Amino acid sequence: MSRVVVDVMLKPEILDPQGKAVHGAFDRLGFDGVASVRQGKRFEIELTGDAGPEAVAEIERAASTLLSNPVIEDYTLHVETEA
């Protein structure tokens, strides 16, 4: 089995109120040296077979249509190899 990981983040120009709130908590709890926080989503997708080009292309399609909304979000995708 192979695993494909998709990370989804709000585009840099889109306000991230949740990230800002987390940043506020950093400050309140005394975690120093933090300039900003952005919050995103991580999807770990287990494939039934190998992560060949076709299988990855299929997940890529899901990432761009289902897992992210291209109006407000960007995604990155990588295949995780077993350690």
Radius of gyration in angstroms for the set of CA atoms belonging to the chain, rounded to a whole number: 16
How many Cβ atoms are within 10 Å of 8's Cβ, its own excluded?
18
Q: Work out which of 27, 31, 50, 69 binds other proteins, going by CB under 8 A.
A: 69
CB of 69 to other proteins, least distance (A): 6
DSSP of 56-82, one letter per residue?
A: HHHHHHHIIIII--TTTEEEEEEEEPP
CB of 32 to other proteins, least distance (A): 24
Q: What is the DSSP letter of 49?
A: S
| For other proteins, the closer CB: 13 or 82 | 13
Locus of tokens 């987390």? 22
Q: Work out which of 1, 57, 71, 83 binds other proteins, going by CB under 8 A.
A: 71
| For other proteins, the closer CB: 50 or 76 | 76
The footprint of other proteins (CB under 8 A) covers 10, 13-18, 21, 66-67, 69, 71-72
